Amino acid sequence: MTKQLPPLFRDKMMDLLGEEEFELFLSSYDQARSYGLRVNTGKIAKADFLEKSPFALEPVPWTSEGFYYEEGERPGKHPYYHAGLYYIQEPSAMAPAELLQVQPGEKVLDLCAAPGGKSTQIAAKLQGEGVLVVNDNHSDRVKALVKNLELFGVRNAVVLNERPERMLNVFQGYFDKILIDAPCSGEGMFRKEEDMMQQWERHTVQEFAEMQRELLGQAAQMLAPGGTIVYSTCTFSPEENEAQIAEFLDKHPVFEVVPVTRFEAGHPDWLREPWCEGDYSPRAREAVAGTARLWPHRLRGEGHYVAVLRKGYGVVAGMDEGTVAGTEKGTVADFVSASGAGARSGREALRGKGRAGSDSRVSLEPLQAFENELLRSEPFAELRLVCYGEHAYASPANLPELHGLKVVRPGWYIGALHRGRFEPSHALAMGLRMREAKRALSLASSDERALRYLKGETLEVAESEIIRDPEVTKAAKGYCLVCIDEHPVGWGKWLDGMLKNEYPPGWRWT
């Protein structure tokens, strides 16, 4: 594979690393890559997963929930994948969200989030408390992001499809933590995805560097004083890594680097011609040594770069922290948010207008009837119910007003209210625990019906198999939460010994 590396890339790495280190680096391209999965601790405790894991797992040293699995295993082809018990993720890619040190209750932004690997990691750390705003400016990639958050059963996420400059007014100084998993030239992925090599050219490095500069400046404005930004790339070029951080520190003296000691150090010595300009301050040069490099020849993972930046509280006289760009007018604004000034809380919010600019009213009764019949707990209690047309969402509390932004999901999608009926969403099923449903069916993963359910088939299910509390729910007939080994995978409708399959076509086992 070393022969396929772009010659310009080889020459550059040789210049940066020096002959001896370069040989080691080069040899990594002829070694097997590592495979990883990360346990969804939002759904299952790590110890419980390890007890039932069908895979031989070995811990990834830098991520508490991360594990290596062996080549040849197919974790994407197991019912537990469909239950959202883990995310398949390249081991080095688990480092940035871990370094963000997210705590339950925080307000977190994942600025370049699709397809959502790191968003799901952050969500698990929030444990359903606080706010997770995830954004990606690519509309097609956002679809995968939504699906992964739903699969993970995330209840407190808002999904945006925005250009970050349009988010600045709304989120000025709002977030405690921001992850910028920046678009980059992808040099660190050459071993994993060979076609990235064909796309690589010297000028792409410069193009990405320009985007990264903007993203860093925008994130700085949306971060609260005392907050943390983690900046990461999966590339080696110093233009996209150390140079970005050095330039950022010189423009934003209120920020400092929090040193990462777990990995190899960043390279101040690479801030030089012909790769980078040389005129950074001594403070900035020194600080980039505290950023981190994950090298494929030094650990079991692909190439990554990570910097942890903390925003101080001080105001430095004469320094421009950047002005807020105005938001554009006349863009999508038909999202009704019940948050922000004047909003009514919880259930009240849903009684409001169905859609901005329209006076249609959505009756809550069918949802209430569904809750009474099917839900044991109050899963929406800490959230605000909002309606977008006929679609009901449970939105995290304390969100600023989102008018004018392209909101793909204002929160946890609960279901559709139309023609006097409530149809629960697949996302609702995935976000529930089995104990929260008054009517459930738990199939063993070894039961052939588990796979047949995931393939969309109708199942024969005896009335005695429908789990219900006879004091509360006597009837077996109607919606029931279908689980595999007690982990929800979707809805079914039981009647007279048959379970009608409500598993969505786009999610089915193929």
Ligand X SMILES: C[S@@+](CC[C@H](N)C(=O)[O-])C[C@H]1O[C@@H](n2cnc3c(N)ncnc32)[C@H](O)[C@@H]1O
Instruction: Residue 254: count other Cβ atoms within 10 Å of its Cβ.
Output: 17
Element (DSSP H or E) covering residue 282: helix 282-287
Task: Name the residue among 177, 334, 316 with its Cα closest to residue 253.
Answer: 316
Q: By C-beta, is 168 or 450 nearer to ligand X?
A: 168
90 binds ligand X (CB under 6 A): no
424 binds ligand X (CB under 6 A): no
Q: By C-beta, is 100 or 427 nearer to ligand X?
A: 100
For residue 115, say whether it is annotated as part of any ligand binding site. yes
143 binds ligand X (CB under 6 A): no
Supply 128's token pair: 């359903």
Candidates 60, 94, 113, 489: give the one binding ligand X (CB under 6 A).
113
Least distance in Å: CB of 192 to ligand X?
Answer: 13
Contact 73, 35 (CB under 8 A): yes
Q: By C-beta, is 122 or 284 nearer to ligand X?
A: 122
Candidates 43, 118, 192, 293: give the one binding ligand X (CB under 6 A).
118
183 binds ligand X (CB under 6 A): yes
Concerning whether 234 is annotated as a catalytic residue, the answer is yes
For residue 136, say whether it is annotated as part of any ligand binding site. yes
- Which residues lie across from 177 on neighbouring strands? 108, 228
For residue 314, say whether it is annotated as part of any ligand binding site. no
Q: By C-beta, is 108 or 461 nearer to ligand X?
A: 108
Supply 405's token pair: 């932004």
Candidates 79, 91, 115, 431: give the one binding ligand X (CB under 6 A).
115
- Which residue type, as a one-letter code, is found at position 399? L
How far is it, in rounded angstroms, from Cα 147 to Cα 140? 12
Task: Name the residue among 334, 403, 332, 420 with its Cα closest to residue 369.
Answer: 420
Total number of residues shown for the chain: 510
For residue 173, say whether it is annotated as part of any ligand binding site. no
How far is it, in rounded angstroms, from Cα 473 to Cα 451? 28
Supply 32's token pair: 């097997």
Least distance in Å: CB of 113 to ligand X?
Answer: 5
Contact 261, 289 (CB under 8 A): no
136 binds ligand X (CB under 6 A): yes
Site string for ligand X, 186-225 (x = CB under 6 A): -------------------------x---x----------
User: Among 234, 276, 387, 480, which one carries the catalytic annotation?
Assistant: 234
Q: By C-beta, is 141 or 143 nearer to ligand X?
A: 141
Supply 422's token pair: 């409530």
161 binds ligand X (CB under 6 A): no
116 binds ligand X (CB under 6 A): yes
164 binds ligand X (CB under 6 A): yes
Candidates 90, 181, 240, 465: give the one binding ligand X (CB under 6 A).
181
Least distance in Å: CB of 384 to ligand X?
Answer: 26
For residue 117, say whether it is annotated as part of any ligand binding site. yes
Supply 251's token pair: 């423009």
Q: By C-beta, is 35 or 479 nearer to ligand X?
A: 35
How far is it, in rounded angstroms, from Cα 21 to Cα 248? 29
Tell whether the torsion through CA atoms of 338, 43, 192 and 213 is positive or negative.
positive
For residue 118, say whether it is annotated as part of any ligand binding site. yes
Terminal-to-terminal C-alpha distance of the chain? 32
For residue 30, say whether it is annotated as part of any ligand binding site. no
HEC string for 415-434: EEEECCEEEECHHHHHHCCH
Contact 185, 205 (CB under 8 A): yes
For residue 66, say whether it is annotated as part of any ligand binding site. no
How far is it, in rounded angstroms, from Cα 125 to Cα 108? 11
Q: By C-beta, is 164 or 411 nearer to ligand X?
A: 164
Cβ-based burial of 210 (10 A; exposed 0-12, middle 13-18, buried ≥19): exposed
- Per CB under 6 A, which region of 35-43, 137-145, 325-333, 402-410 contacts ligand X? 137-145
Give the residue ranges of the annotated binding site for S-adenosyl-L-methionine: 112-118, 136, 181
Catalytic machinery residues: 234
Give the residue ranges of the annotated binding site: 112-118, 136, 181
The site for ligand X (CB under 6 A) is made up of 111-118, 135-138, 141, 164, 181, 183, 211, 215
